[in-house]
Structure 1
Amino acid sequence: MKIVEWNQADKKLLELELKELAVCVLAPLLPASFCVAIVYVFLNELGVFKSIGEVVYIKENSGRIPLIFLFFPFSFFLLASIQRLINFCPKLATEYFIKGAALMLPLFFLGIFITNLYVEHKLKQTGYSYCNWYTGASIRAPDVWLKNESLCLQSGSLIRSDIEDFFEGYNQQGIEPSLQELETFIADTKQVRENYIHGR
């Protein structure tokens, strides 16, 4: 079974019309961007998963881990684009892209469900609690988990990005902030915002 086929294209690149030529030249950028994004997101979420138990604040979107399944069909899409760009027939690579997408898409959606269940179980087993006050309203927003449930404060729900920065410092040091430190931070941050809004 051939994985890659290098047959000369019937029509050379320079024989194509301007629109077709532009598509062929720009086509590799799309799958290359997808492949890079998939690897970046996968490694980022894997890093978050590995930090379970070591940090107090976790912002995870584990449903993105199965994106790695889509790397393989997009690799063939990239190969097909490059082949066409250098005057080779992309027929086989295109077939593998279509077949790969048809096979990997169901695995991707199944993987989302399984990965979410597993990561949620692992977080609860390690002593984390889901914090709805720090989790964004969008269904695509990452879930926020805290090792200390008492640090999930409703008063911090309007300054989520500041809360993330606050906890990030403690995560890097490997220590847990006190409730008083968090309450003081929330009060000070809100006061700064209020002063800015009112031009003080």
Structure 2
Amino acid sequence: MKIVEWKHADKKLSELKLKELAVCVLAPLLPASFCVAIVYVFLNELGVFKSIGEVVYIKENSGRIPLIFLFFPFSFFLLASIQRLINFCPKLATEYFIKGAALMLPLFFLGIFITNFYVEHKLKQTGYSHCYWYTGASFRAPDVWLKNDSLCLQSGSLMQSDIANFFEPFNQQGTEPSLEELETFITETKQAWEDHINGR
């Protein structure tokens, strides 16, 4: 069974119209971007998973981990694009892309449910609580989990990105802020917003 086929294309790039040529030249950028994004997201979420138990604040979107399944079909899409660009026939690589997508898409969607269940179970088992106030309203927004649920304050619900920045140095040091430190931060940040709006 052949994985890669290097057979010269029937039609050379020099024989293509300008629009077709532009598509062939730009085509590899799309699958290459997808492949890079998939690997980046996978490694990032894997890093978040590994930090469970070591940090006080976790922002996770574990449903994105199964995106790695889509890396394989998009790799063949990239190969097909490159083959066409250098005057080789991309037929076999395109077939593998279509078959791979048909096989991997169900695994991707199944993986979302399995990964979400497993990561949430691991977080709860390790003593984390889901903080609704710091989780964005969007369906795609990452879920926020805290090792100390007393640090989940309604007063910080409209400043999720500021809250994330507040917890970052504590995560890096492996320490936990006090409730007073968090309350002071929220109060000072809200005051800074009001001063900015009022032009002070």
Give the TM-score normalised by the residue count of structure 2.
1.00
Which secondary structure does the structure 2 equivalent of 1:158 belong to? coil
SS at match of 1:145: strand
- What one-letter code is carried by the residue in structure 1 that aligns with 2:15? E
| One-letter amino acid of the counterpart of residue 34, structure 2 | F
Partner of 2:98: 98
Aligned residue for 2:185? 185
1:38 aligns with 2:23: no
Residue 169 of structure 2 is matched in structure 1 by 169
Structure 2 unaligned segments of length 5 or more: list them. none
CA deviations 1:128-166 (Å, max 9, x no partner) are 000000000001000000000000000001111110000
Deviation string 1:40-78 (CA, Å, 9 cap, x unpaired) is 000000000000000000000000000000000000000
Partner SS, residue 144 of structure 1: strand
Aligned counterpart, 1:108: 108
Separation (CA, whole Å) in 2 of partners of 1:91 and 1:162: 50
Misfit runs of 4+, over 3 Å: none
Q: Distance in 2 between matches of 1:64 and 1:56?
A: 22
Distance, in Å, in 2 between the alignment partners of 1:198 and 1:158 is: 19
1:162-183 CA-partner distances (Å, limit 9, x unpaired): 1000000100111000001100
* 1:97-151 Cα deviation digits (max 9, x unpaired): 0000000000000000000000000000000000000000001000000000000
Aligned residues: 200
Q: Per-residue deviation at 1:190? A: 0.4
Percent of pairs identical after alignment?
88
**1:132 corresponding residue in structure 2:** 132
Secondary structure of 2:159's partner?
helix
Partner AA of 1:112 in structure 2: I
How many Å separate the matches in 2 of 1:26 and 1:134? 40
Does residue 1:15 correspond to 2:11, yes or no?
no
Instruction: Give the aligned partner of residue 62 of structure 2.
Output: 62
Q: How far 1:199 moved relative to its partner?
A: 1.0
Give me the TM-score of the superposition, normalised by structure 1.
1.00
| Partner SS for 2:132 | coil
One-letter identity of the residue aligned with 2:166: F
SS in structure 1 of the partner of residue 59 of structure 2: strand
CA–CA distance in 2 between the matches of 1:132 and 1:49? 19
Pair 1:159-2:159 in alignment? yes
